[in-house]
Amino acid sequence: MINIDMRSSCYSRFSSANTYCGMAANQSVTGDHLFTFAKSYASFHGYISICVCVFGIITNIFNIIVLTRRHMSTPVNIILSWLAVSDIITMMSYVPFSMHFYCMYPDVNKTPDKNSKSWMTYMTFHINLAATTHTVSIWLCVLLAIVRFVHIRSPTKAFATRRRRMTQSKVLILLIYVWSAISLIPNYMSNELQENLNPESNETTYVLRDLRLGKNDTDALVLVNVWMYAVTAKLVPCLLMSIFGSLLIYNIHVKIRHRRKVLKISGANSMRLTEHSRTTKMLVSVILLFLVTELPQGVLIVCSATVKDFFDTVYLPLGDVMDIVALINNAVNFILYCTMSTKFRETFVHLFCACHFPHSNESIGYTLTDRLAKLDSHSNNNEHQNHINHVV
């Protein structure tokens, strides 16, 4: 599968022809505006993307540390932890690429230093790695929606069931990572470097092979791979996320109405139910961010494969924009977790901001440390007691 979205910004600068010049030769009015915007934004993209990546790497490390606490151990949080791992890998790979090709050498013209064999080889590695981690992330988000939906439909506190669901989630996460790498092997093979020799200066540069998307002579294998990538890594995941995200919203509202009406829940249970609802809304927000990021890319990929010159005149000028939107999506989960999950926020404060936490609660013999320690102890005791009951 050709990872067209990861190649777009790279290809627009490093294809076998000067793509910007080729694009300018056949611009429509809309295409001309996109081309002008692409040139203007490219001068800022490197610095913006590095800032986003640094922020995202740090906050995703926070996510992993918090979500792997014992009292935070759930199938959903395991998925979110490995989603953070995938996002970290994506952004760590992007930083050297952005620094070299956008900050150090912002000019679109090819030079031996910028387009050296070593740096172009790294760029190819970055494209392949980012393609894999990006595919992993979107399918983890699908798994997230499915697992949460199953939990809402069939909630359980039984030790055996909870343990089985945890194991199933870990196995599915592993399968997603392995499947994503294997399914993108055709993509790895398609990203080839070509040697360019300038007869005037006798200088050698390296460029990506031209895919010639949207042309009459596009290779049939390229078209098949583009369609496969659009369907399996964009459209199908987006469809599944839309279905299960909608079901999540519907089911959580039904359950809240049912519990309030039948059980006439107390204040404490109401708070517990509200936190449960917030967790689901937080996960729905994560899903919506992926939909906003991925669905337009899927549509644009299909148009690139079916509409003549669409790839050159529309898709390529938007390459940097799609990159930064994807990077922001990778970086903002920490903000969502802190604002929408009390449990995550309290655990983070306990782990990283304990010295700044108000001491007013200490006067009544209760601190956040005590609360989280009780949560850990309660989790261990429940698992032990449920295990004993299960054995008996």
Residue 215 has pLDDT above 80, yes or no: no
Candidates 174, 179, 183, 141; CA nearest to 3 is 183
Residue 224 in any domain: the answer is yes
Residue 366 in any domain: the answer is no
Instruction: Confirm if 184 and 191 have CB atoms less than 8 A apart.
Output: no
Residue 98 in any domain: the answer is yes
Domain count, the chain: 1
Residue 357 in any domain: the answer is no
Residue 378 in any domain: the answer is no
Tokens read off for 172 = 């599915």
- How far CA 227 is from CA of 68, 188, 233, 260, 302, in Å, comes to 38, 16, 10, 48, 7
CA dist 39 and 41 (Å) reads 6
pLDDT at residue 102, rounded to an integer = 92
CA dist 71 and 344 (Å) reads 10
DSSP notation for 278-306: HHHHHHHHHHHHHHHHHHHHHHHHHHHHH
Split at pLDDT 50, 70, 90, the class of 366 is very low
- Max distance between CA atoms of the chain, in angstroms, equals 85
CA dist 92 and 104 (Å) reads 18
CATH at residue 303 = 1.20.1070.10
Write down the pTM of the prediction: 0.81
Tokens read off for 118 = 């070593």
Domain that holds residue 337: 2-12+29-348
Residue 364 in any domain: the answer is no
pLDDT in tens, 48-80: 999 999 999 999 999 999 999 988 889 999 999
Residue 72 in any domain: the answer is yes
Instruction: Confirm if 214 and 309 have CB atoms less than 8 A apart.
Output: yes
pLDDT at residue 387, rounded to an integer = 39
Instruction: Confirm if 230 and 297 have CB atoms less than 8 A apart.
Output: no
Residue 324 in any domain: the answer is yes
pLDDT in tens, 5-33: 555 555 544 444 344 444 444 455 556 77
Instruction: Confirm if 180 and 139 have CB atoms less than 8 A apart.
Output: yes
pLDDT in tens, 119-148: 999 999 999 999 899 999 999 999 999 998
Which percentage of the chain shows pLDDT scores above 90? 33
Tokens read off for 132 = 């894999």
